[in-house]
Amino acid sequence: MFKKTDLSSTISIRSLRNNALEKYESERKNFQEIEVISFPAYKILNGVSSETRDVCSCCIFIIYSKSNTTYFFGHFNSIEYILPSGPRNLLNDDFKEIMGYLKDSPLPVDTYEAILIGGEQRLFDAIAAYLSSQNIKITASYHDNYNQLALDDTLQTKSIIFNHTTHKVTIFSGVLPKQTLILDNAHLTFKDNFQEKKEELEKLTAECNKKELEKLMANYGNEVTDELTCNQASFKP
């Protein structure tokens, strides 16, 4: 007989996630106007801050110049993707368009900088390599190596706000210490910079998964019992 499910680990995971969301909502109130970017897409923005939500395996790039109020915010989960208008390729289509805008800009391309956040390793590396090949300096980055962490998706989900006046990104996620990270000129990874949190979060995830399995198995047992009872009641010798 299965023990009654103890929801303590679930509550802990949920509380970390909720704390991240509360801090995100609080920060968002500081902006009178903010542009929401959904994937797969990039936007050209001018004089307005921006945000994106519920980021897991996706990668975010922000290309900007401190000498220009126009910047580019992209949110993608793969290099190749399909829109109603047809298939597209991040490197051959989207970045080609962005580079066209930059080359038409009065500023040299190498005066632009980038902030990169991810996500899935190969996509992160592909974007980083492309930006470097175009002489766009990656000023700051955060990589949590989503696919290699045995953590609950609820914990890893990120919300991101870019402040267009300070050129700083704030990341909100349950895996982060105090559930927030301000990113402006550092290159950080979850593995290298927040390793002390990893074991604790993996334990929470394992406990939650175990109890969810127990709950599913208990429910399955109840369904079998109900079916047997129903069959016995309907059986007439």
Give the tens place of pLDDT for each residue, 33-62.
999 998 899 999 999 999 998 888 899 999
Q: Is residue 214 part of a domain?
A: no
Judged against a pLDDT cut of 80, whether residue 228 lies above it is answered with: no
Amino acid at 99: M
- CA torsion through residues 142, 146, 147, 150, sign: positive
Compute the average pLDDT of residues 58-83: 94
Confidence band for 133, pLDDT divided at 50, 70 and 90: very high
Judged against a pLDDT cut of 80, whether residue 234 lies above it is answered with: no
Judged against a pLDDT cut of 50, whether residue 232 lies above it is answered with: no
Compute the average pLDDT of residues 122-151: 88
**Residue 197 vs residue 45, higher pLDDT:** 45
pLDDT for the residue numbered 41:
93
pLDDT for the residue numbered 148:
61
Q: Is residue 142 part of a domain?
A: yes
Amino acid at 145: N
Compute the average pLDDT of residues 74-102: 95
Judged against a pLDDT cut of 90, whether residue 24 lies above it is answered with: yes
Confidence band for 21, pLDDT divided at 50, 70 and 90: very high
Phi/psi of residue 198, each to 5°?
-60, -50
Q: Is residue 131 part of a domain?
A: yes
Judged against a pLDDT cut of 60, whether residue 222 lies above it is answered with: no
Above pLDDT 90, what percent of the chain? 55
Above pLDDT 70, what percent of the chain? 78
Q: Is residue 226 part of a domain?
A: no
Q: In angstroms, how far apart are the furthest CA atoms of the chain?
A: 91
DSSP string covering the chain? -PPPPP-HHHHHHHHHHHHHHHHHHHHHTT-SSEEE--SSEEEEEES-EEEEEEESS-EEEEEEETTEEEEEEEEES-SEEEETTEEEEIIIIIHHHHHHHHHHSSS-GGG-EEEEEES-HHHHHHHHHHHHHTT-EEEEEEE--GGG----HHHH-EEEEEETTTTEEEEEETTSGGGEEEESS-EEEHHHHSHHHHHHHHHHHHHHHHHHHHHHHHHHHHHHHHHHHHHHHH---
Q: Is residue 18 part of a domain?
A: yes
Q: Is residue 197 part of a domain?
A: yes
Q: Is residue 220 part of a domain?
A: no
Confidence band for 223, pLDDT divided at 50, 70 and 90: very low
Judged against a pLDDT cut of 90, whether residue 212 lies above it is answered with: no
Judged against a pLDDT cut of 60, whether residue 10 lies above it is answered with: no
User: In the block, which residue shows the tokens 């109020």?
Assistant: 69
Domain count, the chain: 1
- The residues that bridge with 189 in the sheet, in sequence order, are 143
Q: What is the CATH number of the domain that holds 106?
A: 3.30.1330.200
172-to-38, 54, 56, 59, 129 alpha-carbon distances in Å: 17, 10, 12, 15, 26
Which residue range(s) make up the domain with 167? 8-208
